[in-house]
Amino acid sequence: MALEKRRRKKKRSLILPWLLASRPATLIVSLSAVSLGWGAALLTVTGRKASLLLVALAALTAVLLQIGANYINDYGDGIRGADSNRSHASRRLTASGANPFSVLTTGLSFLIAAAGSGLIAVILTQRWQLILVGVFSIAAAYLYTAGPFPYAYFGLGELSVFIFFGPVTVIGTVFLLSGIVTLSSFLVAVVAGSWSAAILLMNNLRDHESDMQSNKRTFSVLFGVLIARIVCIALIAVPYIVVAILLIELPFIGYVFLTLLLSAPIVIILATAVTSKEFAIAFRLGIICLIPFAIFFTWGLAS
């Protein structure tokens, strides 16, 4: 019995790091982007007739892409030594001794799975234009920290996240579900993209010192902590400005302002934080705040 318990414990100790490397807490970013895209699609006649199966496929594709990107990010940062200057608790698979090729293969497997689920959605809807979107998304996921020009190392991480979790995911979801692209979908895309970029920027503010030591030139490293703070606070403010604009036509979307109870403390922390741990708190609160924000926003669009 004791031997069996030790075996199970050892198995869990082997599996857990791989599960954590997928960064499950951050998957709310891709899910919220699809949710907002679904809400924007419900503003159209054809979108209201869309199958929930398509919504599920869109969500699955986005999540698989993000998980794949997370593993490849682990691989890319690991082989470049970007994680070597972080505390042991914050190191990831490759930096902790996992086989880099295995980490890369795992990431690529998730990208292939994302391509499969996305292709099913395209076949069901005959919206073949989305194949190009899929190819772009897979390439962006891989090249984030891998390949000859890892753009996350040149201050482009936040911009890429804004584009992928904003226009690409939101407008892509709207087009998949409705077959059209509306002006409102662009506004919703700005909301999703801003939140996603803000969360990444909070993450990079947390890792500012270690990124400087490893020569990972994130936005925070290139422009400094002060500018990064200001931009991050602005990115958090943008979604609420868009909500105020949409409030004229969509009164129920006003419930989103309840999430200010969570986002206001984030802004205060960002304005005053001096340690990595404080920025880490802001990062976690950002993910938590995005959950009710996405729920209220989607409900407001659908009502």
Instruction: Report pTM.
Output: 0.92
Render pLDDT for 149-197 as a digit per residue (tens, 0 to 9). 899 999 999 999 999 999 999 999 999 999 999 999 999 999 999 999 9
Q: What SS3 class is residue 98?
A: coil
> How confident is the model over 24-80, as pLDDT tens digits?
999 999 999 999 999 999 999 888 888 999 999 999 999 999 999 999 999 988 888
Distance CA(86)–CA(299), nearest Å, equals: 40
* pLDDT category of residue 215 using cuts at 50, 70 and 90: confident
Q: Classify domain 27-302 by CATH number.
A: 1.10.600
Q: Where are the domains of the chain?
A: 27-302
pLDDT averaged over every residue in the chain: 91
CA-nearest of 20, 94, 29, 19 to 286 is 29
